[in-house]
Amino acid sequence: MMLAGLVVFADQARAQHYECSEETYRRTRPKVESLFGSGVLRKDPRSPAAVLVLDNYWEQLSALEKQRFAERLVCAMAGSGRSLTHLTLKSLMTGKAVGEWSAGSLSVR
């Protein structure tokens, strides 16, 4: 019974961790827009639920940095108090998926 309570608490803490606050949105949105403007990120013309990311940029990020990058990207795209249920990050060079954002976490390929 104690373990079940810890799991619920952990899930609640995790859900709070990924919530896009107004402050985070205001701070993150200009940075994400600059990544789109500089060519690091591009909208995928074939899918509204996908973005293309510059390969060299993506490869230099650690696993933790990729998770944080995805969190900020989702916050900037969705808006304050919102989230995206799914976002695919694709290689700008090949168009193949390099990461999948779903349910508040990133899986890297």
Higher pLDDT, 83 or 99: 99
Residue numbers of the domain that contains 73: 2-108
Reading the block at residue 12, the tokens are 């609640």
Beta-sheet strand order (sheet of 97-102): 41-43, 50-53, 86-91, 97-102, 105-108
Q: Report which of residues 107 and 13 the model is more confident about.
A: 107
User: How many domains are contained in the chain?
Assistant: 1
Cβ atoms of residues 88 and 100 within 8 Å? yes
Q: What is the pTM of this model?
A: 0.80
Residue 13 banded pLDDT, cuts 50, 70, 90: very low
Q: CA-CA distance, 23 to 80, in Å (whole number)?
A: 8
Cα distances (Å, whole numbers) of residue 69 to 3, 6, 24, 28, 61: 31, 28, 13, 10, 9
